[in-house]
Structure 1
Amino acid sequence: MTTTTTGASTGAKKLLGGVLFVLVSVAAVAGVGLFLHSASADPQPILVATPMGNVDSPQGKINGASIELSVFADSESSNNIQNKEGSRPGYVTYGPSTHLQLPANSLITMTIKGYDGGEKLNNTFFSRVVGTVDGTMTVDGKQVKSLGEDQVQHTFTIHSLPTSTQPTLFVNIPVQIQSEETMGKFDEDGVLPTPIVTTFQFYTEGPGEYVWNCEYPCGDGTYAKFGAAMSRYGFMSGKVTVK
């Protein structure tokens, strides 16, 4: 009798574990679905990459396009006027829009102008350049492959979605910080500093829908600094449409 009871108990635990696993999996898929629904319903005007015609690349002649973003210490001082939430005091933000459209099967040249300071990354992986041509980026004209973990103001990180119906795309760009002196002056007079200019290139393949976000903990004190602007779509996260 004792053996039978133990076996039944073990079976019940396995069944419960299986049910919990299924529920967690369903919740994760539902979360992705809700995010995509929110992104697809985003009223922000799409920021469309500028065509460059055929350009030279390590792969030979290929269609090219360029696009530019900026990242600001405070959404009130930014040009992110297209944000559906409007400006929010103390919210860091990318702009002018967080919904990007890129051409398929192309070489993308992207520029990010950074106007913010920083502290230290939670995960040093995101201090490295990933997914670009030659694994590099240029920072104010200097070619680099990574930054110090305490030299990052924000990241621009494109993620693929969990699907096999579109090409994989992963790009990570750490944006170098402004100096403490520069940010102190900004706090005093509110005048934007000279931006740190980061430029990089990456390839797109076939059409697809992707998401991007900042991996630097630049929110408020909640959720390990991943709350506020970090958890609200349209400030430090967005969508990439390849078509």
Structure 2
Amino acid sequence: MRSATGFKVLGVAVGLAAAGVLIGLYVSKLTTEAGSPSYTVPVSSQGGHKVVDLTIQTVAAVGPQLSPAHPDYVSYLVRDTHGKWLRRTVWKLPANATVHVTIYNFDGASGLRNPLYARPQGVDGDVMTVDGKTLSVIPPDDASHTFAVPAYGLVIPVAPVGDNAKNQCGYAPCAMSMAHRTITFTFHTGKPGHYRWQCFVPCAAGWIDGFGGPMQTIGYMDGFLNVV
């Protein structure tokens, strides 16, 4: 007869093995998707210092035009110099630069699991502007998404579109005439590197705990900053 201790050891071993498989699949997925096309953000110079303006959009459903395989995936998009929205989340930025970010959010509230992320962090003044108003925190239940770069200690909670807002966007790309929130903040890149960014809000509807699908896929709610 196997002892209780033996069963516990076996259970732990099986659990670790299963976790290893899941982690392996997750890392494999990220590695594969990380090879997707990147976007080089244009750079300007002010007083000899490199400055970048990064404009991104968050949408409840990316739509068939930008993602035929997964039109219902929640997603981030980036705007290029021609005003076109691209489903690319690997962005090339210069090292030691100032990055001014504008997020246009067209999605509603999902809510945070951790209220710590309700405060802007790792950005100038640890504040952001929401529709022109400077804020240092939002209600945790109101967060639609986050833009977070763990290696920089950077977290921005994204304010939501109200449930009763008129003219809400169904599928991306969303026109600026549709209901949205405008969030701005500034951060600074450091030395060259490959830095992961992601959303920490469980916003993937239809997936266990809201963290599957687009939440773990580069090109949707995950990406990288290639700082060079």
- TM-score band by shorter chain is 0.7 to 0.9
Using the TM superposition, give the Cα deviation of residue 188 of structure 1 relative to its aligned residue in structure 2, in angstroms: 8.2
Q: Distance in 2 between matches of 1:110 and 1:98?
A: 14
Q: Does the Cα contact within 8 Å between 1:155 and 1:172 map onto a contact in 2?
A: yes
Partner deviation per Cα, 1:91-122 (whole Å, 9 max, x = no partner): 11111221111100111111111111113211
Q: Does the Cα contact within 8 Å between 1:229 and 1:235 map onto a contact in 2?
A: yes
Give the aligned partner of residue 211 of structure 1: 196
Q: Whose RCO is larger (CA < 8 A, sep 6+)?
A: 2
3-state SS of paired residue (1:150): helix
Instruction: Indicate whether 1:71 and 2:58 are aligned.
Output: yes
Give the aligned partner of residue 105 of structure 2: 114
Matches within 5 A, 1:45-84: 46-54=38-46, 62-76=49-63, 81=66
Q: Distance in 1 between matches of 2:30 and 2:169?
A: 36
Which amino acid in 2 is paired with 1:113?
Answer: Y
Give the aligned partner of residue 80 of structure 2: none
Does 103-112 or 116-125 show the bigger shift?
116-125
Which amino acid in 2 is paired with 1:222?
Answer: W
Q: Distance in 2 between matches of 1:198 and 1:87?
A: 29
- Cα distance 1:221–1:107, how it changes in 2: closer, same or farther (>3 A)? same
Q: Does the Cα contact within 8 Å between 1:48 and 1:67 map onto a contact in 2?
A: no
Give percent identity, aligned residues only.
25
3-state SS of paired residue (1:230): helix
Q: Distance in 2 between matches of 1:149 and 1:215?
A: 12
3-state SS of paired residue (2:164): helix
Q: Mark the structure with the bigger radius of gyration.
A: 1
Give the aligned partner of residue 7 of structure 1: none
Instruction: Indicate whether 1:145 and 2:145 are aligned.
Output: no
Give the aligned partner of residue 168 of structure 2: 186
Using the TM superposition, give the Cα deviation of residue 28 of structure 1 relative to its aligned residue in structure 2, in angstroms: 9.1
Residue 177 (structure 1) aligned to one of 160, 180, 195: 160
Instruction: Indicate whether 1:92 and 2:84 are aligned.
Output: no
Q: Does the Cα contact within 8 Å between 2:75 and 2:214 map onto a contact in 1?
A: yes
Using the TM superposition, give the Cα deviation of residue 156 of structure 1 relative to its aligned residue in structure 2, in angstroms: 0.7
Partner deviation per Cα, 1:17-45 (whole Å, 9 max, x = no partner): xx999979987985685355324422x2x
Q: Distance in 2 between matches of 1:134 and 1:234?
A: 30
* Aligned length in residues: 214
Instruction: Indicate whether 1:234 and 2:216 are aligned.
Output: no
Which amino acid in 2 is paired with 1:144?
Answer: L
Using the TM superposition, give the Cα deviation of residue 217 of structure 1 relative to its aligned residue in structure 2, in angstroms: 1.1
